[in-house]
Structure 1
Amino acid sequence: MTIEQQVPNVALTFPPATESRSEKSFGALVSHSLLQTGRLLLRWTRDPYTMLQAVIYPALMLVMFWVVLGVTITEGTNIKAIYGQVPMITLVGAMFGSIASGLSLKREWADGLLSRFWVLPVHRASGMISRLLAEGVRIFLTTVLIVAVGFALGFRFEQGILAGLGLLLLPLLFGMSFATLVTALAVNAAKAPLVELLSLLCTLMMFFNSGFVPTQAYPTWLQPIVENQPMSCVIEAMRGLSMGGPVYEPLMKTLIWCGGALLIFVYPAIRGYRRAAGTPP
């Protein structure tokens, strides 16, 4: 017996369509990506661990480095330590924030949330794009916050406003490339703790870069490694844009490091995300 026969006086109607565009259209991609970006940002603001890693921890670390080492480094090297510490901490905030969001991505995969989104009538690329957009917003806001704390400690844009704007964009470029790496690791290793182990590498990089102490303060055999590791390249470019100094060479090294990371990890991140959304961990 059909439903009409069981309930003859009830007409079967469907609600009017509110979305006339195809889920594969460019307009759907934009609207769905922005909607999911907002969801991620709202979720991160409500996650104490993510807020601690991305905002509170870097800001407190900057104050700690300035109080404990700022005067000593400045007097010992004749270089204001704050101009290396602010760039270093902006990168630390970008990296550890990406690690926290990578762990959140693994939890969403384990809970089946990625699979639920995958079967909804949304653009398939919006999930990955929204994560990168949310990372970009988080990194930029964290950078602005850390620079504001740095201003209270003596950091200034001595090369002008345009150079200062360029300085704010460098952590964004570095952070987006690092976030792509974290995403690739998160969606291609459900059981292996690759994202967690990445935090150990980030900790080592934090203590062996030209923002912690000038490169000349390290042992001679270690100086080439410290000088050319990704964080040092970005820090030196940011130092040049703030207090003055060479910009072209460290900027080119930054572009090579970040561009190389994007070229290497974008495809594994996309492919891994599609597989993670379609299969259980």
Structure 2
Amino acid sequence: MATLSSADSAALPGAVEGFPDRDRVVRERSVASLAMGSWIQTQRLLRRWTRDPMTLTQALFFPALLLVMLNTVLGRQISSFAGYDALYGTVPMTALVGVMSGSIAGAVTMGRERDDGLLARMWVLPIHRASGLVSRILAEGVRIVATTAVIVAVGYVLGFRFTQGIPAAIGFVAVPLLFGLAFATMVTAIALFTAKATLVEAISLGSSLLMFFSTGFVPLDAYPEWIQPFVENQPLTCAIDAMKGLSLGGPVQAPLIKTVLWSAGAIVVFAIPAAIGYRRASRK
């Protein structure tokens, strides 16, 4: 069979210049392939989430509405009881609630992609196999920062302010980022190891219970003494207290260390099951 030379193929109308040299081809397991595939799939996930009403509602609209409602209904009472503006508790709490709700919505969406065979189709493409999980971590990070920014913006309209300087404000955003990535790792592992979306959605009930039994809802002294140890040391309260200290002032080190320990523990426990579950779900 006759073949065209490079000059002949270039002369054809609409023809490409030719195939790239072999040494210029990006290998499937290379770092360049990982970066390229992760970037492309991160954009795909962000576009899908922005077009999904459930994800937008749970990650942005519901937490922002919750913040406005809590400040309108309970703001004055909590402020008078606590001795400081209630927004310094409710803004961190609603930011973390939005982070958790968005992760749950993302996990439900991933379960649907698994059931529809999309993960399996992505698995057989000539891209780095790790790009699927890396892209989800990157997309989760972008979503968490966006959710926190929206809640802080709403809080600023209501009267919330950073009083500890720019470094503390950056740390304020870093706390939900760490907390959210750990929570997303847990929810992802659960979503990949169960075929029922209801189990993942049931986690939202536990998240709501953590919200109502946290220092972001009311100060610690407002709870009965027998439940105060749980309220003080549960992961949501630790993150809220750290963010409160970074915005208003007060203890930061102790609640921040607890938040890091809670988050690191969740990542250590659920990271490997999440990776194994993603691989297994993609190969079906």
* Number of the residue aligned with 1:225: 230
Task: Give the letter for the 2:145 counterpart.
Answer: F
* Number of the residue aligned with 2:268: 263
Q: Which moved more, 1:71-80 or 1:52-61?
A: 71-80
Whether 1:16 and 2:19 are equivalent positions in the alignment is yes
SS at match of 1:121: coil
* Number of the residue aligned with 2:158: 153
Q: In the aligned structure 1, how far is the partner of 2:240 from the partner of 2:123? A: 39
Post-superposition Cα deviations, 1:95-129, rounded to whole Å, max 9, x if no partner, equal: 00000000000000010000000011010000011
Task: Identify unmatched segments of 5+ residues in structure 1.
Answer: none
Q: In the aligned structure 2, how far is the partner of 1:78 from the partner of 1:171? A: 25
Whether 1:166 and 2:171 are equivalent positions in the alignment is yes
**Shift, 1:194, TM fit:** 2.1
* Number of the residue aligned with 2:13: none
Q: In the aligned structure 2, how far is the partner of 1:10 from the partner of 1:122? A: 30
**Shift, 1:197, TM fit:** 1.2
Determine if contact 2:104/2:187 at 8 Å carries over to the other structure: yes
**Shift, 1:192, TM fit:** 6.4
Q: In the aligned structure 1, how far is the partner of 2:146 from the partner of 2:82? A: 31
Determine if contact 2:108/2:197 at 8 Å carries over to the other structure: no
Tell me how many residue pairs correspond in the alignment. 272
* Number of the residue aligned with 2:247: 242
**Shift, 1:243, TM fit:** 0.7
TM-score normalised according to structure 2 size: 0.92
Identity %: 55
Mapping of 1:55-66 within 5 angstroms?
A: 55-66=60-71
Match of 1:182 among 183, 187, 191: 187
Task: Identify unmatched segments of 5+ residues in structure 2.
Answer: 10-15
Determine if contact 2:111/2:197 at 8 Å carries over to the other structure: no
Q: In the aligned structure 2, how far is the partner of 1:238 from the partner of 1:192? A: 32
Runs of 4 or more, structure 1, over 4 Å off, are: 8-11
Mapping of 1:78-227 within 5 angstroms?
A: 78-191=83-196, 193-227=198-232
Match of 1:51 among 56, 59, 63: 56
* Superposition RMSD in Å: 1.8
**Shift, 1:193, TM fit:** 2.9
Determine if contact 2:64/2:151 at 8 Å carries over to the other structure: yes
SS at match of 2:99: helix
Match of 1:69 among 74, 77, 97: 74
Q: In the aligned structure 1, how far is the partner of 2:3 from the partner of 2:126? A: 32
Post-superposition Cα deviations, 1:17-75, rounded to whole Å, max 9, x if no partner, equal: 59711010011101110110000000111111111111111111110110011011111
Q: In the aligned structure 1, how far is the partner of 2:196 from the partner of 2:65? A: 32
TM-score normalised according to structure 1 size: 0.93
Q: In the aligned structure 1, how far is the partner of 2:239 from the partner of 2:217? A: 13
